[in-house]
Amino acid sequence: MNDGVIEDMGFATVDLDRERRTGFPEVVMGEGKTVEQIASIAKRIYDASGVVLVTRSVEKAADAVSELIPSAQYEPSCGAIWADDRGLDAQHRGLTLVCAGTADLPVADEAELTARLMLCEVTRVNDVGVAGIHRLLAHEDVLRTAKVVVVVAGMDGALPSVVGGLVAAPVIAVPTSNGFGTGLDGYAAMLTMLNSCAAGVSVVNIDGGFSAGYQAAMICRVGN
Amino acid sequence: MNDGVIEDMGFATVDLDRERRTGFPEVVMGEGKTVEQIASIAKRIYDASGVVLVTRSVEKAADAVSELIPSAQYEPSCGAIWADDRGLDAQHRGLTLVCAGTADLPVADEAELTARLMLCEVTRVNDVGVAGIHRLLAHEDVLRTAKVVVVVAGMDGALPSVVGGLVAAPVIAVPTSNGFGTGLDGYAAMLTMLNSCAAGVSVVNIDGGFSAGYQAAMICRVGN
Amino acid sequence: MNDGVIEDMGFATVDLDRERRTGFPEVVMGEGKTVEQIASIAKRIYDASGVVLVTRSVEKAADAVSELIPSAQYEPSCGAIWADDRGLDAQHRGLTLVCAGTADLPVADEAELTARLMLCEVTRVNDVGVAGIHRLLAHEDVLRTAKVVVVVAGMDGALPSVVGGLVAAPVIAVPTSNGFGTGLDGYAAMLTMLNSCAAGVSVVNIDGGFSAGYQAAMICRVGN
Amino acid sequence: MNDGVIEDMGFATVDLDRERRTGFPEVVMGEGKTVEQIASIAKRIYDASGVVLVTRSVEKAADAVSELIPSAQYEPSCGAIWADDRGLDAQHRGLTLVCAGTADLPVADEAELTARLMLCEVTRVNDVGVAGIHRLLAHEDVLRTAKVVVVVAGMDGALPSVVGGLVAAPVIAVPTSNGFGTGLDGYAAMLTMLNSCAAGVSVVNIDGGFSAGYQAAMICRVGN
Amino acid sequence: MNDGVIEDMGFATVDLDRERRTGFPEVVMGEGKTVEQIASIAKRIYDASGVVLVTRSVEKAADAVSELIPSAQYEPSCGAIWADDRGLDAQHRGLTLVCAGTADLPVADEAELTARLMLCEVTRVNDVGVAGIHRLLAHEDVLRTAKVVVVVAGMDGALPSVVGGLVAAPVIAVPTSNGFGTGLDGYAAMLTMLNSCAAGVSVVNIDGGFSAGYQAAMICRVGN
Amino acid sequence: MNDGVIEDMGFATVDLDRERRTGFPEVVMGEGKTVEQIASIAKRIYDASGVVLVTRSVEKAADAVSELIPSAQYEPSCGAIWADDRGLDAQHRGLTLVCAGTADLPVADEAELTARLMLCEVTRVNDVGVAGIHRLLAHEDVLRTAKVVVVVAGMDGALPSVVGGLVAAPVIAVPTSNGFGTGLDGYAAMLTMLNSCAAGVSVVNIDGGFSAGYQAAMICRVGN
Amino acid sequence: MNDGVIEDMGFATVDLDRERRTGFPEVVMGEGKTVEQIASIAKRIYDASGVVLVTRSVEKAADAVSELIPSAQYEPSCGAIWADDRGLDAQHRGLTLVCAGTADLPVADEAELTARLMLCEVTRVNDVGVAGIHRLLAHEDVLRTAKVVVVVAGMDGALPSVVGGLVAAPVIAVPTSNGFGTGLDGYAAMLTMLNSCAAGVSVVNIDGGFSAGYQAAMICRVGN
Amino acid sequence: MNDGVIEDMGFATVDLDRERRTGFPEVVMGEGKTVEQIASIAKRIYDASGVVLVTRSVEKAADAVSELIPSAQYEPSCGAIWADDRGLDAQHRGLTLVCAGTADLPVADEAELTARLMLCEVTRVNDVGVAGIHRLLAHEDVLRTAKVVVVVAGMDGALPSVVGGLVAAPVIAVPTSNGFGTGLDGYAAMLTMLNSCAAGVSVVNIDGGFSAGYQAAMICRVGN
């Protein structure tokens, strides 16, 4: 079957209509796919859209993609592969990305990359976990002018609640798997965020930098 | 201590500055508070802002609030008490609220009430669970024009993934505690939503109609 | 003890009567057995029945089986070893096998292989996850004529609910361990499926392609 | 909206097309709905189909339904309300329903009622838990001639594995919430069943008599 | 057996030596004991020590205790019964007790009562949850002079991490069961606290006001 | 069916052969059965054996049993109903039953009653939890002469490990649901016991006084 | 400290009195200890008792032990190291060891080795899982003459319930970590066993062959 | 930003004010950080304070730190890197550190190292688990004179309850991940400790030697 918008590649049915429906082409989840599958799906999307993003993949897959899409790049911290030949400037402003600890940076990087490919500018605030709350408060002005705030945190996952109480913008909280023992690979941080005592906080999957960046970019688009 | 923005009532420290910081006064969580505490906190907020919302409370608390705020109303399905004498019209448009089943209506009602108090118009689509997917698809046009979509669902919690694949707007998913057995009082639906295969979906607490309505209203404000 | 139907091999008591009781010889679970144990049990079953299936085993075991059963084959994606010298054609029709994502293919392959050895024809529909629901609806006709539908899905596990609402046939849902974080190695998808709001859906173990293929073949046999 | 197949009642969107698609009208889950909602939805389905089933409801709801549908009946053990004026005889044979303990009977009754409304004959085998295995083996002949077997069990949930090893038919296992402590309200039994060492066993939700009866009836239909 | 330090009452073996070993007589956990058991154990301890504390009991038990110990008092919020006729003044200073929300007050009250019976002065800071962080920072001076800080919080349980980053004193965190849904009756808050990114935080059982008050008093004693 | 050893009562299949196979007639689990079912099953067993035990039932069921078996008695703490007209003396010695706290007594009582009906003498040691270890050590001689020790404990469930290190006899550990918060209704105590650092400890279900008493009596029988 | 019964080796305090108290010297848990620690502790125990058992260790540790104790042997399947120069014959009879599947053999081997070192004869029944129940029933005579039965099973863990219903002897159930997905590394089997509908079943830790063998040997000793 | 107390290094915002606020400079959690990040953060802290501690890191990171801080040392058992050129003697006494088993030593070592860097003397009591309770009681005098006791235990985690009943000092319990199966990587031990029946016990994260040592040192400081 290939009716122009859905293309059946046998092992994959690429949803080429997705860009029309949702404003951005299908993003490929690399985990669980073979290198060959990743490369051929990425190529097909890239050919149709001029832009492609693969998340959570290994460097070997990036090499295979690069053979088909020479401009493809790889970010090893989060395993993202992407290519963008649309030549478009950022069109949306107001996304602030707050990261609790140094170990959470790869997840924040995935969020930033996603939002940038969706043509959002991203303002970063790094390593401002709640154990030294004055580090965060020093950024209060940047936070208050945001249209949407993504907050990435592992361990106790407490940062989104504090940020949520400071801002008038929606907060998207991203639990990370950083921590040990009762951190339960990010589950503890996720529960913290779902029970935030601050209103206006919603949550994505553990290590879900892509999901958060994607939704935040959607929200930025609302306001431009 | 009472410096004008934080008022210490002994059992409560009302954050009267919150409206300035976040655009809406503190909302009172009724659960766990005594009837007397609810009434006096509600009165204090109402006096400062002309509007107040108490969530998850019992009718007896509504009676106590009504004695202090005659215009207060009570919605028994979700236990909300509210009063609003600001005389303001809705200022934000584009919030669509999708509800999977009849049993999920109280949670959706809480979301709608919250958003309306934050001056958003709300378009409702009810009882369109995925077991009869054509019921949802019949509303595809309404969904596509939304700025933000709240999706309320219990049991399998599958609806946000389907909606997320249809729209360009951010989706806020609300798991409900409807279901039985392995539904785990909403936990199963929550996990479904956090693992949504559609991009652009974030999740709030189980039965978190208030949280979803609040964040959706924040997003609508971005775009107006 | 060896009374013709139960053979005690010391480390294993092969149930040679099983084929008479249930219509198919004992299937060997490879995981947890040594290469030597797998090979000798497989040989014993093959000698009695002319067909044997080993699931979830490593390639080294396949090599050992091949030494004893030259016609044995190995499917690396799901770790299945099998041999079939019965020379029988497919006798049962109506099994449709729906797979949500590319990463779920190995589990679907195990289901298909199992059903084929049980002499069922299998119709495949691949990569039709709910985030692009129109991909699934394009196959509505194939689904409606099925006698039984196996649906394989990871992440949110939402696909069986949608399929269950479209068909008059029983749906066997197979959660896969694809996903990350709150996917809990397939547990989230399993809970989704057990709470399906569509009637007529039952569930097998995570990554249980064999179980699903086996039961689906049993159901096909009912109708032929 | 009322296009003949989907009727929007405000609080419910009744899927009147479901009977055509799946062979049986929409079944109403009573839990979580108000008495008034149950009665009016049941009436609407009954008027279109001549048959209606409501599960997991209270007696008060049965009274309300009876006012609108005089022939409605109520089974207090499982909370089912139903009416059937189609005047149809059973058309499908071969469903055997095995119940582990006396306390599991209400769940088995729900399964039987569901299957009978779907025009299946049901053979019952009661109180044959594995702690007295000879009680089960005394029924081996009845089991071997079944087209499909539903097995209802709480506590250790071990019965489906034993039955699955005795029969050539598919087994649908229903965990019940009977038990205490580590029974985890049926969760332990459910896990047992999902890990059945017998092939051909699938599982429905805890206390899911309706789901099991529904799917078993679907399977019986395949063979008639 | 009654050797002066251990008294066997049949249903209870009162550890009268405990006061010598640990500095405070045995505290009676009321939950799970009958009214008669509570009263007679309390009387026995009171007679030996002049002070007694029963936690988590019902008012009826308080009545029974009062008949035997006329000076006994009851705090209904946390269910504590106590009597103290030692006529001793507070001897230890430096315990600050921080409470996140109004609903957490009963747990904080239990902690305060326990510490006071152990002759500690207690400074309270109420309703300073992290969603309005400036409410907490207004109390920074009080916090910095504490010898030990008890922090009581439900929902997201984020407050101890923030306090822990502000002070040089040990922080004992008490999760409360306030919240709903994914709050898991206090489990989410407990996990947050165990994963605190601030050093110097330890955690007691959910709603464990007594445990926290007891340990805090022990720490105050170290320093006096 | 009634072949003398298995009697089909419709709702129950009484296993009258059980006494011959296992040395004691079937014990009736009261929970989940109706009053009428309990009474008629108890009567049937009593008539065949002269002794009957029903566990976890309500007083109303005891009344119904008493109408059929006048000598029946009821123990409200654990909900046991029993009658014994065999006129037999205790035949087995060496069972010591250790109970950690006063709140655990009902579970210990169920164990003792079960063992006595199985003709074992029982030596009780009450309220010797590990927080006052000297209370336990005072009974070291009694413990060392036991053939089997049952240890009942809630909360931290630590007592079986200490006892296991003191004795040469097998220890059967019974977790109770006493405790709160992270006690998880006995789950925490159960995990403690399963991970006992003392060899020779095995565990039964939470609040499983019956199971422990039953197995302990079996062990005593071995040695007599 | 070295008072003859407790020897402080710095990193370990060997309990040389344990043999007198419990009838068997301290058994060394190899997991988590360094090779050097294992070897020196084993040597110390062996010198005092003439017998030593180390569980769950790696082959490298066995080599180190062999250098100090030349007669030491290693069983790679379960990682046991042991030496026994007491020259004693088996003194206790009646321990039957039933193993559900081939993959469970290593755990059963650990149980057998432990019991043999404690001077018990062990009768093995292998690969008789419930999916082919007639394999088990063929051994009914052996089971009925046992003094104690150890049952080792993974996956659904159903075998102990069936065995428990057949015998008058106590059953010690050992869940194994064999299985996948919802088997939860043995947790599902453990829950099954704790909820056994057969009386007289107790449970040890997952893969706890040592614990089961140890307790079974203790029970055998009672009867000899 | 670098205002003297907070230094923004891009990937990290070092909280140089922390030493003034809390009495010890920021401790670096090594896990999740790159070798380069660890080395440069450690250097920055060391330059400001003359002392630095990095926890849970790999040897390669220690090598990188040593290049920048030649006096740095590495403890492989717990992965700690530290340097201390302050030339200060221990100033606080009374910390007793009790370790249940040999396998728990690395966690205890992390606690001791932390406390020593905070200038506390540490008294160690090793390998005194509850299965040989007399080993612990032999140290009762040392325990009774402690100002604070840290108790490290895995498996059943029972030791803190016993210690808590012996001493008048606060007990900080550290669950370790030693054990297997239902030990759940330390979760079982943690639950035991949170449910301690001894008063005065608080708990830190699994394997949280650092947290326990840190808090214990804070408590010692209170008393000096």
Mind listing the pLDDT tens digit for each residue in G174-214?
999 999 999 999 999 999 999 999 999 999 999 999 999 99
Q: Report the mean per-residue pLDDT for chain C.
A: 93
Whether E138 and E212 share a structural domain: yes
Q: State the number of CA atoms in the 13 A half-sphere of E5 facing the CB.
A: 10
pLDDT tens digits, G130-179 = 988 999 999 999 999 999 999 999 999 999 999 999 999 999 999 999 99
Contact C182 A206 (CB under 8 A): yes
Q: Which amino acid is at C33?
A: K
pLDDT tens digits, C44-61 = 999 999 999 999 999 999
H-chain residue closest to G206, CA distance = H181
In the listed set H29, H55, H84, which residue is the last one of a domain according to the structure?
H84
pLDDT exceeds 50 at position F1: no
* Distance of alpha carbon B165 from alpha carbon B149, whole angstroms: 12
Q: Among H124, H82, H83, which residue's Cα sits nearest to residue H216?
A: H124
Low-confidence ranges of chain B (pLDDT < 50): 1-3
Q: Which residues of C touch A15 (CB under 8 A)?
A: 131-132, 135
Is residue B1 situated within a structural domain? no
D vs G: CB pairs below 8 A: 122
Contact D31 B178 (CB under 8 A): yes
Q: Which of A161, A183, A184 sits opposite E131 (nearest CB)?
A: A161
Whether B148 and B116 share a structural domain: yes
In the listed set B61, B84, B107, which residue is the last one of a domain according to the structure?
B84
Closest Cα of chain B to A41: distance in Å?
17
pLDDT tens digits, G14-32 = 777 888 877 899 999 999 9
B vs C: CB pairs below 8 A: 122
Contact A197 E155 (CB under 8 A): yes
pLDDT exceeds 50 at position G115: yes
Whether H68 and H157 share a structural domain: no
- Widest CA span in chain A: 58
Whether F100 and F76 share a structural domain: no
pLDDT exceeds 60 at position F12: yes
Closest Cα of chain B to A211: distance in Å?
6
pLDDT exceeds 50 at position H9: yes
Q: Which residues of F touch G199 (CB under 8 A)?
A: 22, 24, 27, 210-211, 214-215
- Inter-residue contact D161 to G130 (CB < 8 Å): yes
pLDDT exceeds 50 at position G1: no
Whether E101 and E194 share a structural domain: yes
**Per-residue model confidence (pLDDT) at position E223:** 61
Percent of chain E with pLDDT over 70: 96
Six-digit token string for C11: 């480390």
- Inter-residue contact B150 to B216 (CB < 8 Å): yes
pLDDT tens digits, H11-47 = 888 777 888 877 899 999 999 999 999 999 999 999 9
Q: Which residues of H touch E201 (CB under 8 A)?
A: 204, 211, 215
Whether F14 and F115 share a structural domain: no
pLDDT tens series, chain D, 224 aa: 344 566 777 888 877 788 887 789 999 999 999 999 999 999 999 999 999 999 999 999 999 999 999 999 999 999 999 999 999 999 999 999 999 999 999 999 999 999 999 999 999 999 899 988 999 999 999 999 999 999 999 999 999 999 999 999 999 999 999 999 999 999 999 999 999 999 999 999 999 999 999 999 999 988 65
Is residue G137 situated within a structural domain? yes
**Per-residue model confidence (pLDDT) at position G223:** 61
Q: Which amino acid is at B203?
A: V
- Inter-residue contact E214 to E97 (CB < 8 Å): no
Phi and psi dihedrals of F117, rounded to 5?
A: -65, -25
Is residue C1 situated within a structural domain? no
Residues whose CB falls within 8 Å of the CB of residue H146, separated by 6 or more in sequence, listed in order: H94, H95, H96, H123, H167, H169
DSSP F170-190: -EEEEE-S-S-GGGGGGHHHH
For C39-45, the CB contacts below 8 A with 24+ separation are: C39/C64, C39/C65, C39/C67, C39/C68, C40/C9, C40/C12, C40/C68, C41/C9, C41/C12, C41/C14, C41/G102, C42/C68, C42/C69, C42/C72, C42/C81, C42/C83, C43/C68, C43/C69, C44/C7, C44/C9, C44/C14, C44/C16, C45/C14, C45/C16
Q: Which residues of D touch F106 (CB under 8 A)?
A: none
Contact H219 E170 (CB under 8 A): yes
Percent of chain F with pLDDT over 90: 84
DSSP C134-169: HHHHTTHHHHHT-SEEEEEE-TT--HHHHHHHH-SS
pLDDT exceeds 60 at position C141: yes
Q: Among E113, E76, E114, E82, which residue's Cα sits nearest to residue E215?
A: E114
* Distance of alpha carbon E62 from alpha carbon E81, whole angstroms: 6
Q: If pLDDT is split at 50, 70 and 90, which confidence band does C1 have? A: very low
Closest Cα of chain D to B136: distance in Å?
10
* Distance of alpha carbon A206 from alpha carbon C182, whole angstroms: 6
Q: Which of C155, C194, C196 sits opposite B197 (nearest CB)?
A: C155
Contact E10 F126 (CB under 8 A): yes
**Per-residue model confidence (pLDDT) at position A2:** 42
Closest Cα of chain D to B77: distance in Å?
10
* Distance of alpha carbon D149 from alpha carbon D171, whole angstroms: 5
Average pLDDT in the E127-138 region?
Answer: 91
Whether H132 and H48 share a structural domain: no
* Distance of alpha carbon C48 from alpha carbon C1, whole angstroms: 17
SS3 C127: coil
Closest Cα of chain G to F195: distance in Å?
6
pLDDT exceeds 70 at position H2: no
Percent of chain A with pLDDT over 90: 85
In the listed set G33, G53, G84, which residue is the last one of a domain according to the structure?
G84
Is residue F1 situated within a structural domain? no
SS3 B95: strand
Contact H17 A134 (CB under 8 A): yes
Six-digit token string for F145: 């002469």
Q: Which of C21, C22, C170 sits opposite D219 (nearest CB)?
A: C170
Whether D115 and D192 share a structural domain: yes
Interface of E with F (CB under 8 A): 1, 6, 8, 10-13, 15, 17-18, 26, 29, 31-33, 37, 41, 56, 175, 177, 185-187, 190, 205-208
* Distance of alpha carbon F169 from alpha carbon F142, whole angstroms: 12
- Other CB atoms within 10 Å distance of the CB of residue E4: 8
* Distance of alpha carbon D155 from alpha carbon D161, whole angstroms: 14
Provide ipTM, 2 decimals: 0.94
Chains that touch C (3 or more CB pairs under 8 A): A, B, D, G
pLDDT exceeds 90 at position H113: yes
Average pLDDT in the C30-45 region?
Answer: 96
Contact F165 H131 (CB under 8 A): yes
pLDDT tens digits, B131-169 = 889 999 999 999 999 999 999 999 999 999 999 999 999
Residues whose CB falls within 8 Å of the CB of residue A217, separated by 6 or more in sequence, listed in order: A92, A95, A114, A115, A118, A119, A120
Interface of B with A (CB under 8 A): 18, 21-24, 27, 94, 144, 147-148, 165-170, 172, 190, 194-195, 199-205, 208, 210-212, 214-215, 218-223
Average pLDDT in the A173-183 region?
Answer: 96
Q: Among G173, G146, G176, G143, which residue's Cα sits nearest to residue G161?
A: G173
Q: Which residues of A touch H185 (CB under 8 A)?
A: 181
Is residue G98 situated within a structural domain? yes
F74 DSSP 8-state letter: E
DSSP D115-174: HHHTTEEEEEEES--GGGHHHHHTTHHHHHT-SEEEEEE-TT--HHHHHHHH-SS-EEEE
Closest Cα of chain A to H190: distance in Å?
9
pLDDT exceeds 80 at position E3: no
Whether E122 and E201 share a structural domain: yes
Q: Which of B21, B147, B199 sits opposite A222 (nearest CB)?
A: B147
Contact C181 A11 (CB under 8 A): no
Domain of H135 in residue numbering reads as 92-221
F-chain residue closest to E17, CA distance = F132
The CATH number given to whatever domain includes residue E159 is: 3.40.50.1970
* Distance of alpha carbon A145 from alpha carbon C12, whole angstroms: 70
pLDDT exceeds 80 at position A76: yes
Average pLDDT in the E64-68 region?
Answer: 98
Is residue F187 situated within a structural domain? yes
Q: Which residues of A touch B144 (CB under 8 A)?
A: 21
- Inter-residue contact B102 to D33 (CB < 8 Å): yes
pLDDT exceeds 50 at position H195: yes
pLDDT exceeds 80 at position G6: no
Q: Which of F104, F128, F181 sits opposite E13 (nearest CB)?
A: F128
Q: Which residues of F touch E173 (CB under 8 A)?
A: none
Q: Report the mean per-residue pLDDT for chain G.
A: 93
**Per-residue model confidence (pLDDT) at position E219:** 96
**Per-residue model confidence (pLDDT) at position B9:** 78
Q: If pLDDT is split at 50, 70 and 90, which confidence band does C16 have? A: confident
Whether B101 and B157 share a structural domain: yes
Is residue E1 situated within a structural domain? no
E-chain residue closest to H201, CA distance = E215
Whether C39 and C128 share a structural domain: no
Whether H19 and H109 share a structural domain: no
Contact G13 H154 (CB under 8 A): no
Q: Among F164, A19, D156, H11, which residue's Cα sits nearest to residue C132?
A: A19
Contact D129 G197 (CB under 8 A): yes
Number of domains chain E is built from: 2
Q: Report the mean per-residue pLDDT for chain F.
A: 93
pLDDT exceeds 60 at position A4: no
B51-55 and A13-15 strand pairing: unpaired
Q: Report the mean per-residue pLDDT for chain E.
A: 93
Percent of chain F with pLDDT over 70: 96
**Per-residue model confidence (pLDDT) at position B80:** 98
Q: Which of A155, A161, A198 sits opposite E195 (nearest CB)?
A: A155
Contact H165 F100 (CB under 8 A): no
**Per-residue model confidence (pLDDT) at position G11:** 81
Is residue A39 situated within a structural domain? yes
Q: Among F122, F169, F141, F97, which residue's Cα sits nearest to residue G223?
A: F169
DSSP chain A: -B-SSEEE-SS-EEETTHHHHHSSPPPEE-TTS-HHHHHHHHHHHHHHHSEEEEES--HHHHHHHHHH-TT-EEETTTTEEEEE-S-PPP-EEEEEEEESSGGGHHHHHHHHHHHHHTTEEEEEEES--GGGHHHHHTTHHHHHT-SEEEEEE-TT--HHHHHHHH-SS-EEEEE-S-S-GGGGGGHHHHHHHHT-SSTTEEE--TT-HHHHHHHHHHHHHHT-
**Per-residue model confidence (pLDDT) at position H124:** 96
**Per-residue model confidence (pLDDT) at position G22:** 79
